[in-house]
């Protein structure tokens, strides 16, 4: 109805223009109607002006309405007292603006809630763009960094030299540990990074969490486990030596006085020789134990390079072939992609995988139909290599201690293989994990 009224008014304006034009043309043939001709010309121009004003009114209001959205102006209000036909149009404009105002208010409230949450979360958060401009720096990060304001990430170099480069070079999904030292305390920070685009800007978000207390507790637990293992191993070696040496002393003395040669029997001499041999053997075992400890504490720094996983597998398989054939093991390998590669020290990673394969072979050496699989795949930006078997599995009690140095369930084991492997992976910035169930088998997975 309102649009019909608008059309009627346009039609009336057009009709009057047509009549005025016709009369003006008629007066051209009547020279005596000069004043009338001039009046009709003025009327014709005036009618065109009124029609343009009438049509452009809607255009101008629509333009203002659209510009209010462009500049996010929610204060605009159209006159509600306007008469038809524009009143319904203005009412609709006002309704849309009111809805826009509500949505904008909700967004602002959500933004305030988000900023409040970010400001008060316990995890430190720092975000910056490609130029290093800091976009986000919450209260937790301020407490950790001890810097009140930071406009550029180079400000963090005052906390620790090279920290800004460490932030820049941190790969998304990777975790690193940094230590910050100030006058009052030493902080161990776990840092992670994610990257995303925001309005054509490339943003990196760094999360920081002080895990010093957790590390201290873990270190204490590790020392206690290590001390228990060391004590057990040393006592197992020293106790027989002490007992045997005491027995040998009793053979050569009586009431604190050394026996004479004539008092010694051939059997006693044989027993002494056996006792000395036992002491020698036990002492040699203790020496090997100490050497194992030395090797555990002298892991070389990895020499990083690009290593194709396929080449790595091709080098390991011939080394393990003999053991696999002797024990009648079914051995399978698979690689998700032939061009899969890792950045690592080839020799050290090879040592880790050989340790895991030997563990799998030894764990199931008494089992028929043992199957071992070595697989490589990519998951969430990390390359993972898994060594799995269908052996006897590992109990939950043992599983908790398998990475403790010198802990072993094998008769001839040194207990340093898995501990060495874990340290090697940590030096690569990676990790080693194990999943096992008794009777179901075991899977060790290294990730880089």
> Which one has a higher pLDDT value, 408 or 82?
408
| Residue partners of 30: CB distance under 8 A and separation at least 6 | 37
Q: Judge whether residue 36 has pLDDT over 50.
A: yes
Q: Is the pLDDT of residue 223 over 80?
A: no
Range from 15-24, 57-66, 76-85, 374-383 carrying the lowest mean pLDDT? 76-85
44 sits in which H/E element: helix 34-70
Average pLDDT in the chain: 76
Q: Under CATH, what is the fold of the domain 121-210?
A: Beta-Lactamase (3.30.450)
Amino acid 350: pLDDT: 86
Q: Is 249 exposed, middle or buried (0-12, 13-18, 19+ CB in 10 A)?
A: exposed
Contact between 440 and 393 under an 8 Å Cβ cutoff? The reply is yes
Q: What number is the average pLDDT over the span 57-76?
A: 67
Least confident among 274-278, 341-345, 348-352, 392-396: 274-278
> Domain locations in the chain?
2-105, 121-210, 215-296, 305-447
Q: How far is Cα 168 from Cα 130, in angstroms, rounded to an integer? A: 9
Is the pLDDT at 5 greater than 70? The verdict is no
Q: Give the whole-angstrom CA distance, residue 272 versus residue 268.
A: 6
Q: Is the pLDDT of residue 297 over 70?
A: no
The size of the chain, in residues, is: 448
Residue 1: the pLDDT is 45
pTM to 2 decimals? Answer: 0.47
Percent of the chain at pLDDT exceeding 90: 2
Q: Are 131 and 112 a contacting pair, CB within 8 Å?
A: no
Q: Given 3-state DSSP classes, what are the helix, strand and coil percentages for the chain, each rounded to the nearest 5?
A: 55, 20, 25
Mean predicted confidence (pLDDT) in 228-250: 68
Point out the least confidently predicted range of 27-31, 62-66, 137-141: 62-66
Lowest-confidence range among 3-7, 126-130, 159-163, 376-380? 3-7
Q: Which two tokens stand for residue 2?
A: 């309102």
**Per-residue pLDDT for 198 more than 70?**
yes
Spatial separation of the C-alpha atoms in residues 48 and 159, rounded to whole Å? 75
The confidence score (pLDDT) of residue 2 equals 47
**CA 397, CA 275: separation in Å to the nearest integer?**
37
- Residue 375: the pLDDT is 92
Residue 194 has pLDDT above 50, yes or no: yes
Task: Decide yes or no: CATH 3.30.565.10 for domain 305-447.
Answer: yes
Four-CA torsion 320, 321, 327, 330, nearest 10 degrees: 100
- Give the 3-state secondary structure of residue 269: helix
> pLDDT tens for residues 340-358?
888 888 888 888 888 888 8
Q: Is the pLDDT of residue 265 over 80?
A: no
Instruction: Provide mean pLDDT across the span 279-283.
Output: 72
> 3-state DSSP call for residue 173?
coil
**Is residue 80 over pLDDT 60?**
no
Residue 264 has pLDDT above 70, yes or no: no
The 8-class DSSP code of residue 395 comes to -
Q: What is the pLDDT of residue 82?
A: 53
Q: What are phi and psi of 371, to 5 degrees?
A: -120, 130
- Beta-bridge partner residues of 376: 335, 385
């Amino acid at each position: 109805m309102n649009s019909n009224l608008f059309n009627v008014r346009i039609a009336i304006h057009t009709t009057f223009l047509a009549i005025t034009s016709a009369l003006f043309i008629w007066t051209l043939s009547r020279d005596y109607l000069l004043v009338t001709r001039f009046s009709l010309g003025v009327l014709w121009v005036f009618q065109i002006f009124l029609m343009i004003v009438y049509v452009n009114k809607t255009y101008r209001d629509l333009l203002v309405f659209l510009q209010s959205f462009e500049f996010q102006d929610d204060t605009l209000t159209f006159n509600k007292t306007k008469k038809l036909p524009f009143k319904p149009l203005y009412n609709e404009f006002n309704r849309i603006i009111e809805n826009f105002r509500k949505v904008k208010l909700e967004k602002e409230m959500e933004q305030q809630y988000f900023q409040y949450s970010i400001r008060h979360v316990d995890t430190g958060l720092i975000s910056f763009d490609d130029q290093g401009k800091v976009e986000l720096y919450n209260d937790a990060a301020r407490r950790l960094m001890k810097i009140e304001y930071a406009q550029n990430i180079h400000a963090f170099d005052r906390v620790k030299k090279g920290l800004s480069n460490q932030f820049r070079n941190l790969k998304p999904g990777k975790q690193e540990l940094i230590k910050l030292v100030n006058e009052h305390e030493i902080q161990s920070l776990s840092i992670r990074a994610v990257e995303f685009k925001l309005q054509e800007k490339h943003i990196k978000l760094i999360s920081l969490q002080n895990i010093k207390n957790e590390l201290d507790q873990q270190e204490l637990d590790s020392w206690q486990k290590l001390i228990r293992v060391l004590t057990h191993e040393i006592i197992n070696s020293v106790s027989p030596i002490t007992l045997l040496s005491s027995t040998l002393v009793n053979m050569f003395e009586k009431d604190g006085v050394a026996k004479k040669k004539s008092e010694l029997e051939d059997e006693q001499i044989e027993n002494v020789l056996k006792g000395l041999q036992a002491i020698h053997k036990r002492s040699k075992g203790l020496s090997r134990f100490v050497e194992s400890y030395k090797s555990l504490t002298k892991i070389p720094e990895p020499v990083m390079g690009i290593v194709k996983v396929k080449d790595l597998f091709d080098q390991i398989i011939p080394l393990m072939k003999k053991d696999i054939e002797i024990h009648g093991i079914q051995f399978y390998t698979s690689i998700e992609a032939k061009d899969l590669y890792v950045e690592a020290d080839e020799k050290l990673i090879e040592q880790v995988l050989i340790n895991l394969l030997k563990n799998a072979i030894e764990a199931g050496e008494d089992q028929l139909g043992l199957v071992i699989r070595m697989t490589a795949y990519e998951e969430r930006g990390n390359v993972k290599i898994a060594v799995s078997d269908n052996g006897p599995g590992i109990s939950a009690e043992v599983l908790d201690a398998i990475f403790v140095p010198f802990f072993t369930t094998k008769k001839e084991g040194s207990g340093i293989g898995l501990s060495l492997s874990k340290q090697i992976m940590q030096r690569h910035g990676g990790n080693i994990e194990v999943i096992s169930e008794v009777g179901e088998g075991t899977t060790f997975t290294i990730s880089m």
